[in-house]
Amino acid sequence: MKQSNEKYYKDQTAALLVRISRDDGEEGDSNSIQTQKKLLTKVAKEKGYTELLVFSDDGVTGTTMKRPGFQAMIQEIERGNIGAVFVKDLSRLGRNYREVGYYMEEFFPDHDVRLVAVSDGVDTAEGEDELAPFRNIMNEWYAKDISKKRRISNKVKGGSGERSHRRPTDT
């Protein structure tokens, strides 16, 4: 049976999803975004993907899935144009346990999309990773913990008359 060109394109196309919540102030992509792109490009090519689409959320928190880059990637998946999603780790996909779980357990499988989280050792083409849900819980907890610590620090600084500087962290 002959494979259609559309199917071949999808099988050869990978989305590289990069994200960092704080901007390092550099023009263009932050250093972390550039590093993530290099890593994901290398791994995707090693796994046989020839067409790479980069979706970037530079300076956007992972606690929401309503990020421009993420939403653009989802649209391309729904159009049938992507066969795999590569992220540095699961926290780059997002830090909301329920929503990340939905994409990992339902959306990606329903659209026949492979998920590779390089640093976490997740590759859905190699089977299910039983630890992934626990990583997602910890990623969400980390974001909430950092937010709580930031609020306490700002409150202490404000109470002492010290100027409060809000320095976003990578969530």
User: pLDDT by residue (tens digit) across 111-165?
Assistant: 999 999 998 888 988 866 565 444 445 545 444 455 445 555 555 656 655 555 5
Token pair recorded at residue 128:
């299910």
Cα–Cα distance, 113 to 80 (Å, whole number): 9
pTM, rounded to two decimals? 0.71
Rounded-to-integer distance, Cα 10 and Cα 70, Å: 18
What is the rounded CA–CA span in Å between residue 103 and residue 81?
17
User: Which residue has better confidence, 55 or 164?
Assistant: 55
H or E element that contains 65: none
Nearest-angstrom CA–CA distance, 94 and 84: 17
- For residues 115 and 13, what is the distance between their CA atoms, to the nearest angstrom? 13
What ranges make up the beta strands (E) of the chain?
A: 13-20, 51-58, 84-87, 114-117, 122-123
**Please, are residues 70 and 55 in contact by the beta-carbon 8 Å criterion?**
yes
pLDDT at 3 over 50: no
Give me the domains of the chain, ranges plus CATH numbers.
5-159 (3.40.50.1390)
**Mean of the pLDDT values across residues 11-35?**
77
Whether the Cβ atoms of residue 115 and residue 122 lie closer than 8 Å to each other: yes
Beta 13-20 vs 84-87: how paired, if at all? parallel
Q: What whole-number distance in Å separates Cα of residue 171 and Cα of residue 162?
A: 25
List the one residue out of 69, 99, 64 whose CA is nearest residue 87: 69
Query: pLDDT band at 24, cuts 50/70/90?
Result: very low
* pLDDT classification of 17: cutoffs 50, 70, 90: very high
Query: Residues 89-100: pLDDT tens digits?
Result: 888 898 887 898
**Mean pLDDT for the chain?**
77
